[in-house]
């Protein structure tokens, strides 16, 4: 890591695994349940959050010394809202179908607890470069889980990946469907995301015992 | 050396090894262990977990055999009905025939084997990983699962559902005795939400109805509740429904045998009669409320709720899976309410909600498993409030009680004052 010092690198890498916003801090669950039925939506959501959190963290960090602490939440909301509107408009312009799938959840990035959490916990107390790395790292950690969940839900629930029929055609009974295999309708409904996230948390904690809290 | 001694010796050899739990499970399943406890105080009782589980299985065996018979019987009855052959009753001609039993056995036995095979394999695996003894909980679950699925459920689906139910429904919570949801119903619910076409509709309930659909030999596999949900007439008499000669999940049809199994469980003190009685009461209350609504003509005959709401209240008890659910599922001591007053509430709500789901969800007119799972979730809350209520009442009594000074009172009154 020539570009980054060790400390800077850990800002990006920690949230990917041992300090993951979804599986360890259990934030941002709402959107993880809602939009992960398809891999494509998960990827777009992940990119959107990377953009919003990366830019937002820098903006807040730059303004951190002039924001009166009494109204800082309002200022943060204005910043997130601006960025989210940009994302929303870009999606509507260039990927209209997808923006319909994501529907209200793009707008709801504003209320994603990860974003406000990073503003409060990190950007308000650190310089722009570190805040940028932290924002990117946390958003990637969030996006990674979204993509894993989306991968399994789309593969098992619809038999497709990014819309490609990787398991064969369920109507014409080709590929795996010829053997009598059927899509698992349970994976389409939002509770399945909760169970997949739960399994990821389980696997993560059984690999790293330090993550298990004392009762 | 007898098998028993061989096993005792082998146990010493396996002690401390990774496979010890798996071996011990087989060992104690066959024989009483040859070790005694050395310290502490103990209650000596014969009804350990294995005995309890085996008693429930004994209560399930008649239901299983009837399910095997009924699978064949319904199949041939549906073929006759489809060909417009009038079915004259003849004991050896079309009732107790070898064909009925053979067809049923060929269909049902693989389901039982898959259920036990997959479930026990996972139990053994987890016991070896965690290094604790194999728990007996799956013995009953493995028998319940085949009885609550439609006969044509593909075996691979069943295997996935069993794996899901045992791991997510039970093992992640810490195994037998720690689970919140009834594992057998978790398996049923998984199958229902994952593969709805195999778990509902008018085909799956009679063997081969799915395969024959669309061919000239097509047969019907509609259940009584299915007919009612579509406001259609059906040809089954009350005695058919009571004795179980109707299509349905493998083991749920015969109310008579379920009733006998339930009595057996109540008298062997395995299952709670409070839950059973209150669940039946809850179902009847809801059903008669619906009947009342129909009598008052609040529900028109064209309403899609009419069929199920106008069914005589008591008939709800003998169709569908209500009886099976109340006797074998709701009374699960792990997932049900623990306090006596809590059991009344828990059971009542199961019956009440089951009938409500039946009437209001005509797309899938059987809600017993959903009602029981819902109440499983609420059982700890019910218990909590029952216990808090009890504490509050006793505190109030303590406040109002007059405690006499000891010196002036006799022994009897002193005792009375202490045991407020």
Structural domain contains residue B368 = yes
Q: What pLDDT is attached to residue A44?
A: 86
DSSP chain A: --SS-HHHHHHHHGGGTTT-TTTTS--SHHHHHHSTTSHHHHHHHHHHHHHHHHHHHHHHHHHTTTS-GGGHHHHHHHHHHHHHHHHHHHHHHH-HHHHHHHTHHHHGGGG-HHHHHHHHHTGGGS-HHHHHHHHHHHHHHHHHHHHHHHHHHHHHHHS-BTTB-TT--TTTT-GGGGGT----GGGGSTHHHHHHHHHHHHHHHHH-GGGSPP-
Q: Looking at the DSSP assignment, which residues form a beta bridge with residue A161?
A: A164
How much of chain A, in percent, has pLDDT values that exceed 70? 98
Is the CB of A187 inside 8 Å of chain B's CB atoms?
Answer: yes
Q: How many domains does chain B have?
A: 1
Structural domain contains residue B332 = yes
Average pLDDT of chain A is 84
Question: Are A186 and B194 inside 8 Å of each other by CB?
Answer: yes
User: Which residues in chain A touch residue B193, judged by CB atoms under 8 angstroms apart?
Assistant: 185-186, 189
Structural domain contains residue B13 = no
Q: What pLDDT is attached to residue B74?
A: 86
pLDDT of chain B along its 420 residues, tens only? Answer: 677 777 777 777 777 777 777 777 777 777 766 666 677 777 766 667 777 888 888 899 999 999 998 888 888 888 887 777 777 666 676 777 788 888 888 889 999 999 999 999 998 888 888 777 777 778 889 999 999 998 888 899 999 999 999 998 888 888 778 888 999 999 999 998 888 888 877 777 887 777 777 777 777 777 878 777 777 777 788 888 888 888 888 888 889 999 999 999 999 888 889 999 999 999 999 999 988 888 887 877 777 777 778 888 888 888 888 999 999 999 988 888 889 999 999 999 999 999 988 888 766 667 888 999 999 999 999 999 999 999 999 999 888 877 666 555 566 665 665 555
**Contact (CB, 8 A) for B114 and B257:** no
Choice between A207 and B377, residue whose per-residue pLDDT is larger: B377
Tokens at B124, concatenated: 């053994």
Q: What pLDDT is attached to residue A1?
A: 46
Structural domain contains residue B371 = yes
Range of the domain at B412: 273-420
Question: Are B193 and A186 inside 8 Å of each other by CB?
Answer: yes
State how far the Cα of A12 lies from the Cα of A130, in Å rounded to an integer.
9
Q: What is the pLDDT of residues A55-70, one digit of tens each?
A: 999 999 998 888 888 8
State how far the Cα of A32 lies from the Cα of A26, in Å rounded to an integer.
11
Closest CA to A137 of A33, A25, A38, A215: A25
Choice between A96 and B299, residue whose per-residue pLDDT is larger: A96
User: Which residues in chain B touch residue A203, judged by CB atoms under 8 angstroms apart?
Assistant: none
- Which residue of A lies nearest to B160 if distances are taken between CA atoms? A184
Give me the phi and psi of A120, to 5 degrees please.
-65, -50
Structural domain contains residue B159 = no
User: Which residues in chain A touch residue B197, judged by CB atoms under 8 angstroms apart?
Assistant: 182
State how far the Cα of B382 lies from the Cα of B282, in Å rounded to an integer.
16
Structural domain contains residue B350 = yes
Rounded to 10°, the helix B20-30/B98-130 angle is 140
pTM of the model: 0.84
Is the CB of A180 inside 8 Å of chain B's CB atoms?
Answer: yes
Q: What is the pLDDT of residues A117-171, one digit of tens each?
A: 888 888 888 888 888 988 888 888 888 888 999 999 988 888 888 878 887 777 7
Report the SS3 class of residue B293.
helix
Does residue A30 surpass a pLDDT of 90? Answer: no
Average pLDDT over residues A193-208: 86
Structural domain contains residue B153 = no
Question: Are B172 and A185 inside 8 Å of each other by CB?
Answer: no
């Amino acid at each position: 890591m020539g570009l980054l010092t060790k400390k800077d690198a850990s800002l990006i890498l920690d949230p990917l695994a041992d300090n993951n916003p979804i599986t360890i801090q259990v934030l941002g669950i709402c959107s993880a349940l809602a939009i992960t039925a398809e891999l494509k939506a998960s990827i777009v959501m992940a990119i959107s959050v990377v953009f919003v959190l990366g830019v937002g963290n820098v903006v807040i960090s730059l303004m951190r010394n002039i924001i009166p602490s009494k109204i800082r939440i309002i200022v943060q909301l204005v910043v997130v809202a601006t960025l989210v509107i940009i994302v929303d408009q870009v999606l509507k312009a260039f990927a209209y179908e997808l923006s319909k799938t994501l529907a209200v959840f793009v707008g709801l990035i504003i209320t994603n607890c990860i974003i406000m959490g990073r503003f409060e916990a990190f950007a308000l107390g650190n310089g722009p470069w570190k805040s940028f790395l932290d924002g990117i790292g946390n958003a990637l950690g969030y996006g990674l889980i979204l993509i894993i969940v989306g991968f399994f839900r789309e593969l098992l629930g619809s038999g497709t990946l990014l819309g490609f029929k990787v398991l064969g055609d369920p109507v014409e009974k080709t590929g795996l469907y010829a053997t009598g295999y059927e899509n698992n309708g349970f994976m389409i409904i939002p509770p399945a995301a909760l169970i997949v996230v739960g399994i990821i948390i389980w696997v993560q904690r059984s690999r790293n015992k330090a993550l298990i809290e004392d009762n | 050396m007898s098998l028993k001694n061989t096993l005792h010796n082998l146990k010493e050899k396996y002690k401390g090894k990774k496979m010890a739990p798996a071996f011990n499970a087989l060992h104690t399943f066959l024989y009483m262990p040859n070790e005694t406890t050395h310290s502490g105080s103990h209650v000596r009782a014969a009804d350990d977990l294995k005995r309890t589980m085996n008693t429930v299985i004994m209560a399930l065996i008649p239901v299983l055999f009837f399910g095997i018979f009924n699978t064949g019987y319904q199949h041939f009855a549906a073929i006759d009905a489809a060909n417009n052959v009038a079915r004259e009753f003849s004991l050896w001609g079309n009732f107790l025939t070898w064909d009925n039993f053979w067809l049923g056995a060929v269909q049902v036995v693989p389901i039982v084997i898959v259920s036990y095979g997959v479930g026990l394999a996972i139990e053994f695996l987890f016991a070896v990983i965690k290094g604790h003894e194999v728990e007996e909980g799956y013995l009953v679950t493995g028998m319940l699962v085949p009885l609550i699925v439609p006969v044509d459920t593909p075996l691979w689906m069943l295997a996935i559902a069993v794996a899901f139910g045992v791991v997510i429904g039970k093992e992640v919570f810490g195994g037998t005795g720690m689970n919140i949801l009834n594992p057998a119903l978790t398996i049923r619910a998984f199958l229902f939400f994952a593969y709805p076409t195999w778990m509902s509709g008018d085909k799956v309930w009679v063997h081969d109805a799915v395969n024959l659909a669309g061919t000239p030999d097509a047969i019907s596999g509609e259940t009584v509740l299915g007919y009612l949900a579509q406001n259609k007439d059906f040809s089954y008499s009350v005695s058919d429904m009571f004795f179980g000669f109707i299509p349905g999940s493998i083991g749920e049809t015969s109310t008579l045998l379920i009733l006998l199994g339930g009595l057996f469980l109540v008298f062997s003190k395995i299952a709670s009669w409070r839950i059973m009685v209150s669940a039946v009461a809850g179902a009847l209350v809801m059903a008669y409320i619906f009947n009342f609504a129909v009598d008052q003509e609040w529900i028109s005959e064209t309403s899609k709720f009419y069929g199920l709401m106008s069914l005589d209240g008591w008939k709800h008890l003998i169709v569908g899976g209500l009886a099976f659910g109340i006797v074998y599922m709701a009374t699960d001591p792990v997932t049900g309410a623990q306090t006596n007053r809590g059991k009344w509430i828990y059971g009542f709500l199961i019956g009440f909600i089951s009938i409500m789901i039946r009437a209001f969800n005509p797309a899938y007119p059987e809600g017993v498993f959903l009602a029981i799972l819902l109440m499983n979730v609420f059982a700890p809350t019910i218990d909590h409030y029952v216990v808090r209520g009890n504490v509050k009442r006793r505190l109030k009594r303590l406040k109002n009680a007059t405690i006499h000074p000891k010196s002036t009172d006799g022994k009897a009154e002193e005792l009375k004052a202490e045991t407020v």
